[in-house]
Amino acid sequence: MQVKMRTIASAASLFLTVSLHAQNPPNRGAQPRAEDSEVRPPVTKADEQIVEHAQKILDSPAKWNRADTRICPADAKTFSLYCALEKATYEVTRKFEHRGAAMQEARFVIEEVDPNWRSYHHRLKDYNNDPATTFADIQKVFRLLQNRIQQRLAQEAASPKP
């Protein structure tokens, strides 16, 4: 009987924890978590460098991979938007964070430029693969992303530290 009561109590506790987590909206100011698609980590100068480098990696239509799978081979000759950002992140910081600031800000840029972004399961991949997306659109994302990161750097530098 005691074992049964403990099992029920554990199950109720787990259910309550999951329910509370599901009710709390994502916090864009929090630290990155792999499952939080709305997290907004602080930006750094490295994020600015990542975007500049990604734009150089993907600087011509001949280098654009329109069939992104989010698998980015080290020896690739063509790059999707996602893979260009991933490669640039590795080359600038020597590590990759799926929800790092440059990657997240790129997702938010797509929300701004594509009214159909809500239909995408993976914003970077699906925007890249969308037949309506052009190479000029990809370059526009890089420009807007660069501006966004520069603005956030300026805002974060100007805001008082606690």
pTM above 0.85, yes or no: no
Q: Are 102 and 55 in contact (CB under 8 A)?
A: no
What is the band of 35 on the pLDDT scale with cuts at 50, 70, 90?
Answer: low
Q: Which two tokens stand for residue 44?
A: 């750094």
Q: In DSSP terms, which residues pair with 79 in a beta bridge?
A: 64
Which strand (E) or helix (H) includes residue 60? none
Could you report the per-residue pLDDT of 70-80, keeping only the tens digit for each?
999 999 999 99
Look-up: residue for tokens 């403990």? 6
Could you report the per-residue pLDDT of 37-91, keeping only the tens digit for each?
676 778 889 999 999 999 999 999 999 999 999 999 999 999 999 999 999 999 9
Which of the two residues, 126 and 34, has the higher pLDDT score?
Answer: 126
pLDDT at res. 55: 97
Rounded to whole angstroms, the Cα distance separating 79 from 81 reads 7
